[in-house]
């Protein structure tokens, strides 16, 4: 198996991280253990040196010997390198006195200060005559310091063996930890690999009906559920897009074919009377006008599907008042309004378009002599017409794209106006509905969540 460095896959990177963390943990643990063992071993030597020095000081106090070179046999230390230690005496001037038969001098750094009483007893390490020793320096009597040394050969040998043992155990632990981590990561990341393969297969084939395994109870199961939900939303979006394209093609085909037929009639028949030519030309222009309106509504509908509304605090009553003024000017119809000051968080342009579509629909269905009633209160815009009403079978489909009831088919329109109203309402977190009005006609209700910041202005009078 060829190894790559640095690891590129998620499995390799996680294994590298686990190995690094394990190496640091094992290293810190073994270093701490080594220092603990070292301190314990040296502590035993230090205790032995203190005990031997205390015995020697006690003996000197009980039976002083004028000549320091004469050391009694029962307290005389062995030669340097033996386990019992090695002794020498240092006066306050730094002069060294060795017991009889000894020749090797221990380092005397700080010993004169101890002899003079200027420094407390202390331990130090040194290499004497090729031997690593531990030296304890203490005060024997005023003006004389006692130095006792013991070799650290056995301690150093034990610590060296411990270093090799710790290194071997650390390498084995690291190798075992990496192997276990690779095995665990392979098992844990298997669902991720399957999810990746499914995503690649879907991207290659375009089949949005494929679903991944979502039965795991952990985070990977949640990821699979989220992935399947995303696929459902994407499939629905593609279906709606294809339906929109199909419906738009069907709706555009009719006015385009009619306009083309009328223009071909004008081209082929030069002997038409002026009034016939004007009628045919007017019909072609009207069909082209309908097609232009349809294209504009399609563009508005498609833009609303992907655009993010830039909302602000908006006076809904003023938006409705402006839309009513425009509709009255264009249609020369009468509108009865009751507008209560209402502030919503929304897009003035989008809300104006929604209200304008409701007004156009009401003008289309109301008799010429019947007024259109418009009211605003608490984030609710209601528009009532005096028309024949909507068939109960058509109510669930009124706001669908390109849907036109049987009674509406002879009238101009594309079936997109009310779909745009619903799209704008849902983009604002609101809704739109229709119901039969008492006494005839229909009431369309547009609901938009209101804002708590309501300007303190007087309520306008009914127009």
Condensed to tens digits (0 to 9), the pLDDT of residues 42-89 reads 888 888 888 888 887 777 665 554 455 555 544 444 445 445 568 888
Q: Is residue 5 part of a domain?
A: no
Q: Are residues 398 and 315 in the same domain?
A: yes
Encode pLDDT of 254-292 as tens digits: 667 777 887 887 777 777 788 888 888 887 787 777 677
- CA max distance for the chain: 157
| CA 68/CA 359 separation, integer angstroms | 124
Are 145 and 169 within 8 A, CB to CB? no
| CA 243/CA 297 separation, integer angstroms | 16
Q: Is residue 2 part of a domain?
A: no
Q: Is residue 186 part of a domain?
A: no
Q: In sequence order, which residues have a C-beta less than 8 Å from that of residue 367 and are 6 or more positions away?
A: 386, 387
Kind plus residue range of the DSSP H or E element containing 20: helix 10-62
Q: Are residues 323 and 420 in the same domain?
A: yes
Q: Are residues 47 and 125 in the same domain?
A: yes
Q: Is residue 142 part of a domain?
A: yes
Are 446 and 358 within 8 A, CB to CB? yes
pLDDT at 404: 61
The domain boundary, picked from 112, 128, 159, lies at 159
Its domain, for residue 286, covers 219-302
The domain boundary, picked from 256, 275, 302, lies at 302
DSSP 142: T
Q: Is residue 438 part of a domain?
A: yes
Residues in the chain: 463
| CA 347/CA 316 separation, integer angstroms | 10
Are 422 and 438 within 8 A, CB to CB? no
Burial of 98 (0-12, 13-18, 19+ CB in 10 A): middle
Q: Are residues 268 and 401 in the same domain?
A: no
Angle at the Cα of 156 from the Cα atoms of 154 and 157, rounded to 5 degrees? 60
Are 196 and 224 within 8 A, CB to CB? no
pLDDT at 258: 75
Q: Are residues 25 and 131 in the same domain?
A: yes
Q: Is residue 213 part of a domain?
A: no
**Segments in the chain below pLDDT 70:** 1-11, 60-85, 101, 210, 212-216, 240, 243-255, 290, 293-294, 297-309, 401-415, 451-463
pLDDT at 275: 83
Encode pLDDT of 201-243 as tens digits: 877 777 777 676 666 677 777 777 887 888 888 877 777 677 6
Is the pTM higher than 0.75? The answer reads no
Q: Are residues 383 and 429 in the same domain?
A: yes
How many domains, in total, are found in the chain? 3
Q: In sequence order, which residues have a C-beta less than 8 Å from that of residue 144 and are 6 or more positions away?
A: 68, 89, 90, 91, 92, 115
Location of structure tokens 């000549």 = 67
Kind plus residue range of the DSSP H or E element containing 314: strand 312-315
Q: Is residue 334 part of a domain?
A: yes
| CA 373/CA 443 separation, integer angstroms | 9
- Kindly report the CATH number assigned to the domain that includes residue 16: 3.30.450
Strand partners of residue 335: 372
Q: Are residues 148 and 16 in the same domain?
A: yes
Q: Are residues 145 and 223 in the same domain?
A: no
- Kindly report the CATH number assigned to the domain that includes residue 434: 3.30.565.10
Q: Is residue 134 part of a domain?
A: yes
| CA 391/CA 108 separation, integer angstroms | 116
pLDDT at 368: 82
Q: Are residues 440 and 339 in the same domain?
A: yes
- Kindly report the CATH number assigned to the domain that includes residue 280: 1.10.287.130
pLDDT at 360: 85
Tally of CB atoms within 10 A around 52: 19
Q: Are residues 88 and 125 in the same domain?
A: yes
Kind plus residue range of the DSSP H or E element containing 443: strand 442-447
Backbone region of residue 101 per phi and psi (left: phi > 0; alpha: psi in -120 to 50; beta: other values): left
Q: Are residues 412 and 429 in the same domain?
A: yes
Q: Are residues 53 and 130 in the same domain?
A: yes
Rounded to the nearest 10 degrees, what angle do helices 153-188 and 190-205 cross at?
40
The domain boundary, picked from 267, 302, 337, lies at 302
């Amino acid at each position: 198996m060829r190894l790559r460095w640095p690891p590129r896959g998620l499995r390799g990177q996680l294994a590298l991280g686990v190995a690094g963390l394990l190496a640091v943990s094992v290293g810190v643990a073994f270093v701490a253990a080594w220092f603990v063992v070292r301190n314990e071993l040296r502590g035993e030597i230090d205790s032995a040196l203190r005990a031997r020095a205390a015995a020697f000081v006690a003996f000197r106090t009980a039976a002083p010997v004028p000549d320091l070179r004469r050391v009694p046999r029962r307290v005389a230390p062995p030669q340097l390198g033996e386990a019992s230690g090695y002794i020498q005496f240092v006066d306050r001037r730094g002069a060294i006195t060795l017991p009889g038969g000894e020749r090797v001098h221990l380092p005397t750094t700080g010993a004169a200060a101890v002899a003079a009483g200027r420094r407390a007893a202390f331990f130090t390490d040194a290499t004497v005559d090729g031997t690593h020793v531990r030296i304890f320096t203490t005060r024997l009597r005023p003006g004389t310091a006692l130095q006792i040394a013991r070799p650290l050969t056995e301690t150093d040998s034990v610590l060296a063996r411990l270093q090799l043992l710790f290194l071997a155990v650390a390498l084995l632990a690291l190798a075992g930890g990496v192997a276990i981590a690779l095995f665990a990561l392979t098992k844990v990341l298997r669902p991720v690999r399957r999810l990746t393969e499914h995503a690649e297969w879907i991207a290659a084939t375009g089949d949005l009906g494929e679903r991944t395994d979502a039965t795991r109870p952990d985070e990977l199961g949640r990821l699979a559920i989220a992935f399947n939900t995303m696929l459902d939303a994407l499939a629905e979006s593609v279906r709606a897009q294809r339906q929109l394209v199909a419906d738009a093609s069907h709706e555009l085909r009719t006015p385009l074919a009619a306009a083309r037929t009328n223009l071909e009639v004008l081209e082929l028949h030069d002997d038409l009377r002026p009034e016939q030519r004007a009628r045919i030309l007017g019909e072609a222009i009207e069909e082209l006008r309908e097609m232009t309106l349809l294209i504009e509504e399609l563009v508005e509908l498609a833009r609303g599907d992907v655009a993010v509304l830039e909302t602000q605090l908006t006076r809904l009553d003023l938006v409705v008042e402006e839309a009513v003024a425009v509709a009255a000017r264009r249609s020369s119809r009468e509108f009865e309004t009751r507008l209560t000051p209402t502030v919503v968080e929304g897009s003035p342009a989008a809300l104006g378009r929604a209200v304008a579509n409701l007004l156009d629909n009401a003008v289309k269905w109301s008799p010429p002599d019947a007024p259109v009633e418009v009211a605003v209160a608490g984030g609710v815009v209601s528009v009532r017409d005096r028309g024949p009403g909507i068939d109960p079978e058509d109510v669930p489909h009124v706001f669908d794209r390109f849907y036109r009831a049987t009674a509406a088919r002879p009238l101009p329109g594309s079936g997109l106006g009310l779909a745009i109203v619903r799209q704008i309402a849902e983009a604002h977190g609101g809704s739109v509905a229709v119901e039969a009005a008492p006494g005839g006609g229909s009431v369309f209700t547009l609901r938009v969540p209101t804002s708590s910041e309501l300007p303190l202005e007087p309520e306008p009078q009914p127009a």
